[in-house]
Amino acid sequence: MFMDITEYMRGVGKKARAAARQISIAGTEQKNDALKAIATQLDCRRDELVAANKIDTENAVSAGLDSALLDRLLLDGKTIDGMIEGLRQIVSLPDPCGEITDLSRRPSGIEVGKMRVPLGVVGIIYESRPNVTIDAASLCLKSGNATVLRGGKEAFHSNQAIASCIHSGLVDANLPVDAVQVLQTTDRQAVSELITMPQYIDVVVPRGGKGLIERISSEATVAVIKHLDGICHVYVDDRADLEKAAAIALNAKTHRYGVCNAMETLLLHESIAKPLLSSLAPLYWDKGVELRACEQSFAILSALGPQASLLCRANDGDWDTEYLAPILSIKVVEDMAEAMEHIELHSSRHTEAIVSEDYSRVRHFLAAVDSASVVANASTRFADGFEFGLGAEIGISTDKIHARGPVGLEGLTSQKWIVYGEGHIRG
Amino acid sequence: MFMDITEYMRGVGKKARAAARQISIAGTEQKNDALKAIATQLDCRRDELVAANKIDTENAVSAGLDSALLDRLLLDGKTIDGMIEGLRQIVSLPDPCGEITDLSRRPSGIEVGKMRVPLGVVGIIYESRPNVTIDAASLCLKSGNATVLRGGKEAFHSNQAIASCIHSGLVDANLPVDAVQVLQTTDRQAVSELITMPQYIDVVVPRGGKGLIERISSEATVAVIKHLDGICHVYVDDRADLEKAAAIALNAKTHRYGVCNAMETLLLHESIAKPLLSSLAPLYWDKGVELRACEQSFAILSALGPQASLLCRANDGDWDTEYLAPILSIKVVEDMAEAMEHIELHSSRHTEAIVSEDYSRVRHFLAAVDSASVVANASTRFADGFEFGLGAEIGISTDKIHARGPVGLEGLTSQKWIVYGEGHIRG
């Protein structure tokens, strides 16, 4: 079927804008009813979802896609349970909309405050996980936004089946079906249109690899909530409790390798480098973590008798690499100032941690390090929406504008000023 | 002198980035000392400032620039007093940086909160008023940001003289001079470079005409805090107090004509159109305000015997025009829903007001109208930073992302997440 993508996308945008007006003023109960109805739909239509997913996975197998992608693509009883549980969690979160703060009387006699309101229409561009369709739609719905969803082409049939459940749920709750639109095309041009329609789209959230996000950021004329790479650092001070330091450094690297809040570079004060590495390095090596060491740490580590494949010298590129793998770069520094200088030069401004028992140094590190999350004496792995108490997240922003760090319901809203007068005029 | 603009701007950016690190962690007292020292400099060097301004105004006269521009360009004893007073006001405002909010203990045992921090480097692009140089620099300095200022070429010598005062003030307070850089070129290419250096510039604030702002928004790869046009509406409900309504409608249009928060369109419920216009129209006509009326209001107004030059029929374009002049478009509507529909279609989302004594309608209007400021029973003219209690403003944002409505010190900051643990790891 021939489809004029530009015309199609304008239509999607127009419908989203109209639906946004309605959903922006829907009450909390009505939005929760829709979320519950969507959960019921998913639960009752499991066979349909699994059948649609089967088409996608068979196509993916024929296309020779790798097992990691097949794994992310899979929709089975367990992933459907997960989606339903996610919906119930979002039902239980407080509705951010309508909150009025900072209401005060001004000398002129007017009362001025701020009311939290939805952004309007949120575009989400993501890859092959079909559960993102539910996560993103439900966060946007709860925060009163209309959504346009563009998932990966590998998950096309799964996403259409999920969209059908969402639409039934919206109808059950008497909300406009256009409040959540899943694109019916996987044409790349649709993305280009989506990110250049500021009249219809208020913000786009790209979820995926660095290439996708950089492409979208550079082409977009609408605002982008960016989730770029996580080159996260842990600095262990000479005044650290070395037991805590070892536990944190091990957890930050090895709890999960493929996540953006994993540590990629360990910075060690020269006074504690030898004792800490002596206890820590064997733990890394036991887990098969390759250590890429600076001159000084290489000397210490070599003396520990490692497997040759798990130790090498770091080169300049290592300090700027997000491994997302069992690889860690290690650098010895003279003092905290040098550690902070290294972070300033090489961090992607996602998450950095300090391990130190020194009160003033911790305070200075927290104040001066310019990253979305700055952590004292805990693992970088805590930097996520659930751990921070947001309930769920649509992404982790490495930007400073609008939303920073884990972005939950509040990040999907804005505030407008409201003024109460009684015939006041300006003199 | 030949100047490689690209190279020059990279240098400016690099120096700004370095200065931003220092100023971001400067204490409140040190920043206030700098603001006071700048005020002292301005006060002691009045002759120098006036002499520099004389070059600019003479050039402007020779170039045949109009009197409005000459008026904006002028730097005399009174405008210098105004700049000094502005600095003192900013000294008295609370420092937004370092504020920690929402600190709570999570089930994991970590404590999570948000710390307010500067954005980093703010670029300001403005036109011929030299006092903006001080306003913008002082707001950015107080909020801990480094600034790159690019004023209009007509004010070049005035701005350089002001920059010299700022630099002396920074030196006196032991802060880096590069914290405030006034560009030493008026080449347009410098603006193009400024707005495409995301590595050095975190956000740009264009202050000026719609053309400037649209050009910058479409070309910029850094974030833009946009201040677009103000097509503001006042809706007078049939349940309005007509005395209040007349006072508000008169004030919103005639208090000042050339400002973005002036009313451009008056929407009248059909039941009160005749009595309200009968008392209001003569007041407008006394002030020389031209009324551009819809069919229904034209009939009412014609019967009042106006001067021919002050009444005409509105055409379609009128509903989308920011007059910034003694011109007002008037439309009669059947009910509040029609008024809100008109606002949805034609508003620039700056400021809208309702005049009504009906509790539920006021509540609905405030909740549902999607503009930066929504006002009940008061003039649209209140929508500014000073009236809202921000102390001063760098602009009024018609965007929803990051900053909305009047943007003061808080709009020039971001928040980062901070985490306190005691060796916590993620399980």
Q: Are A205 and A395 in contact (CB under 8 A)?
A: yes
Interface test with B, best of A380, A386, A388, A422 (most B CBs within 10 A): A388
Helix (DSSP H) and strand (DSSP E) numbers for chain B: 14, 17
Contact A418 B377 (CB under 8 A): no
Asked if residue B304 lies in contact with residue B266, where contact means CB atoms within 8 angstroms, the answer is: no
Instruction: Tell me which residues of chain A, numbers 361 to 400, contact chain B at a CB-CB cutoff of 8 Å.
Output: 366-368, 370-379, 381-383, 387-389, 399-400
Which pair of structure tokens corresponds to residue A251?
């957890």
**pLDDT, tens digit only, all 427 positions of chain A:** 568 999 999 999 999 999 999 999 999 999 999 999 999 999 999 999 999 999 999 999 999 999 888 999 999 999 999 999 999 999 999 999 999 999 999 999 999 999 999 999 999 999 889 999 999 999 999 999 999 999 999 999 999 999 999 999 999 999 999 999 999 999 999 999 999 999 999 999 998 888 888 889 888 888 899 887 899 999 999 999 999 999 999 999 999 999 999 999 999 999 999 999 999 999 999 999 999 999 999 999 999 988 889 999 999 999 999 999 999 999 999 999 999 999 999 999 999 999 999 999 999 999 999 999 999 999 999 999 999 999 888 989 998 999 999 999 999 999 999 999 999 999 9
With H, G, I as helix, E, B as strand and everything else as coil, classify residue A78.
helix
Nearest-by-Cβ selection for B378 from A255, A378, A421: A421
For B382, other C-beta atoms within 10 Å of its C-beta total 26
Mean predicted lDDT score pLDDT of chain A: 95
> What's the confidence (pLDDT) of residue B76?
95
Residues 73-112 of A with CB under 8 A from B: 98, 104, 106, 108, 110, 112
Q: ipTM of the predicted structure?
A: 0.93
Q: What DSSP string runs through B316-333?
A: GGGGG----SSEEEEEEE
Q: Domain check: are A91 and A111 in the same one? A: yes
* Same-domain check for residues B269 and B197: no
Res A392: pLDDT: 82
Residue B320: pLDDT above 90?
A: yes
Report the number of distinct structural domains present in chain B.
2
Is position B393 within any domain?
Answer: no
Residue A105 lies in a domain: yes
Segment among B53-62, B208-217, B238-247, B252-261 with least mean pLDDT: B208-217
Residues A243 and A132 in one domain: no
One domain for residues B46 and B27: yes
Which of B150, B132, B34 has the alpha carbon at shortest distance from B75?
Answer: B132
Judgement on whether residues B21 and B140 belong to the same structural domain of the protein: yes
Q: Identify from B23, B28, B221, B388 which residue to disrupt to test chain A contact, counting A C-beta atoms within 10 A and taking the largest count.
A: B388
* Residues in chain A within 8 Å Cβ distance of B402: 401-402
- Assess contact for A140 and A122: CB atoms under 8 A: yes
- To the nearest whole Å, the CA of A185 is away from the closest chain B CA by 27
Q: Tell me if chain A has a CB within 8 Å of the CB of B359.
A: no
Under an 8 A CB cutoff, do B404 and A417 touch?
yes
Evaluated on CA atoms B224, B230, B236, B242, the torsion sign reads positive
E strands, A109-189, are 111-118, 121-125, 146-150, 180-182
DSSP string for B94-131: PP-TT-EEEEEE-TTS-EEEEEEEE-SEEEEE--S-TH
Distance from CA of A64 to the nearest CA of B (A): 35
Block residue for tokens 């100032």: A337
A246-275 in b/e form (b: 16+ CB < 10 A) is bbbbbbbbbbeeeebbbbbbbbbbeebbbe
- List the helix and strand counts (H, then E) for chain A: 14, 17
Task: Tell me how far the alpha carbon of residue A20 is from its chain's centroid.
Answer: 23
Considering the domain boundaries, does residue B398 fall inside one? no
- How far apart CA A371 and CA A354 sit, in angstroms, is 13
Q: Is B288 on the interface with A (CB under 8 A)?
A: no
Question: Which residues in chain B have Cβ-Cβ distances shorter than 8 Å to A373?
Answer: 416-419
**Residues 49-78 in A contacting B (C-alpha not used; CB under 8 Å):** none
- Percent of chain B clearing pLDDT 70 (strictly above): 100
CB atoms within 10 A of CB A62: 8
B322 CB burial (10 A radius; 0-12, 13-18, 19+): middle
Q: Are strands B263-269 and B232-236 parallel, antiparallel or unpaired?
A: parallel
Interchain CB distance below 8 Å, B389 and A120: no
B348-402 pLDDT, tens digit each: 999 999 999 999 999 999 999 999 999 999 999 999 999 999 988 898 999 899 9
Q: Are B125 and B191 in contact (CB under 8 A)?
A: yes
Residue A407 and residue B124 in contact, taking contact as beta carbons nearer than 8 Å: no
Give residue A211's pLDDT.
86
Asked whether A168 and A41 are in contact (CB, 8 A), the reply is yes
What separation, in Å, do the N-terminal and C-terminal C-alpha atoms of chain B show? 64
Interchain contact, A424 vs B223, CB within 8 Å? no
* pLDDT at B209 exceeding the cut of 90: no
State the smallest CA–CA distance between residue A244 and chain B in angstroms. Answer: 5
Same domain, B221 and B264: no
Do A313 and A200 fall within a single domain?
Answer: no
Measured on CA atoms in the order A99, B118, B204, A228, is the torsion positive or negative? negative
Strands of the sheet containing B232-236, edge to edge, are A100-105, A111-118, A413-424, B373-378, B351-355, B232-236, B263-269, B327-333, B290-293, B311-313
Residue percentage of chain A with pLDDT more than 90: 89
The residue with tokens 């659930």 is A386
CATH number of the domain within which B289 lies? 3.40.309.10
User: How many A-B residue pairs are in contact by the CB < 8 A criterion?
Assistant: 216
Segment B332-338 long-range contacts (CB within 8 Å, at least 24 positions apart): B332/B267, B332/B268, B332/B269, B332/B270, B332/B273, B332/B294, B332/B296, B332/B297, B333/B235, B333/B267, B333/B268, B333/B269, B333/B270, B334/B269, B334/B270, B335/B269, B336/B235, B336/B237, B336/B269, B336/B361, B336/B364, B336/B365
Whole-number pLDDT of residue A157: 97
- The pLDDT of residue A374: 98
Condensed to tens digits (0 to 9), the pLDDT of residues B154-179 reads 999 999 999 999 999 999 999 999 99
Q: Can you tell me the distance from the alpha carbon of A374 to that of A55, in angstroms, rounded to the nearest whole number?
A: 44
Q: Average pLDDT over chain B, rounded to whole?
A: 95
A422 to chain B: closest CA residue: B377
CB contact under 8 A, B423 and A248: yes
Do the Cβ atoms of A399 and B424 come within 8 Å?
A: no
Are A31 and A47 within one domain? yes
Chain B hits for A416, CB-CB cut-off 8 Å, are: 370-374, 404-405
On whether both A33 and A167 belong to a single domain, the answer is yes
Residue A396 within any structural domain of the chain: no
What is the H or E stretch that residue B407 is in?
strand B405-407
Q: What is the CATH number of the domain that holds A203?
A: 3.40.605.10
Do A241 and A362 lie in a common domain?
yes
Question: How close does chain A come to B56, measured CA to CA in Å?
Answer: 34
Query: Rounded CA gap, A412 and B269, in Å?
Result: 35
Are the beta carbons of A417 and B423 separated by less than 8 Å? Answer: no
Contact B389 A248 (CB under 8 A): no
Residue A398 inside a domain? The answer is no
Tokens of A178: 């256009």
Residues B243, A399: C-beta atoms closer than 8 Å: no
Judge whether A131 lies within some domain.
Answer: yes
CB–CB of B417 and A400 under 8 A? no
Chain B contact set for A283 (CB, 8 A): none
Over residues B96-130, the pLDDT tens digits come to 999 999 999 999 999 999 999 999 999 999 988 99
Is the Cβ pair A247, B406 closer than 8 Å?
no
Q: Does residue B312 share a domain with residue B198?
A: no
Q: B-chain residues within 8 Å CB-CB of A242? A: none
- Checking if the pLDDT of B1 tops 60, the result is no
Tell me if A25 and B382 make a contact (CB, 8 A cut-off): no
Task: Tell if the CB–CB gap between A416 and B374 is shorter than 8 Å.
Answer: yes
Q: What is the pLDDT of residues B173-197, one digit of tens each?
A: 999 999 999 999 999 999 999 999 9
Strand B351-355 relative to strand B311-313, pairing: unpaired
CB contact under 8 A, B401 and A404: no
Neighbouring residues of A134: CB distance < 8 A, sequence distance ≥ 6: A38, A42, A83, A86, A87, A162, A166
* A55 to chain B, closest Cα gap in Å: 36
Contact criterion met (CB < 8 Å) for A374 and B418: yes
> In this prediction, what percent of chain B has a pLDDT beyond 90?
89
Q: Is residue B396 in a domain?
A: no
Whole-angstrom Cα distance, residue B11 to residue B17? 10
**Beta carbons within 10 angstroms of residue B192's beta carbon:** 17
Residue B318 has pLDDT above 70, yes or no: yes
Selected residue with higher pLDDT from B212 and A32: A32
pLDDT of residue A1: 55
Residue numbers of the domain that contains B268 = 232-387
In a domain, B59, yes or no: yes
C-alpha distance from B374 to closest chain A C-alpha (Å): 5
Å between A238 CA and nearest CA of chain B: 15
What does the alpha-carbon distance between residue A186 and residue B322 come to, in Å, rounded to a whole number?
Answer: 41
Residue in the block written with tokens 């370092």: B98
Does A176 share its domain with A65? Answer: yes
A375 and B418: CB-CB below 8 Å?
A: yes
Q: What is the pLDDT of residues A62-77, one digit of tens each?
A: 999 998 889 999 999 9
Instruction: Give the pLDDT confidence score for residue A68 in this predicted structure.
Output: 85
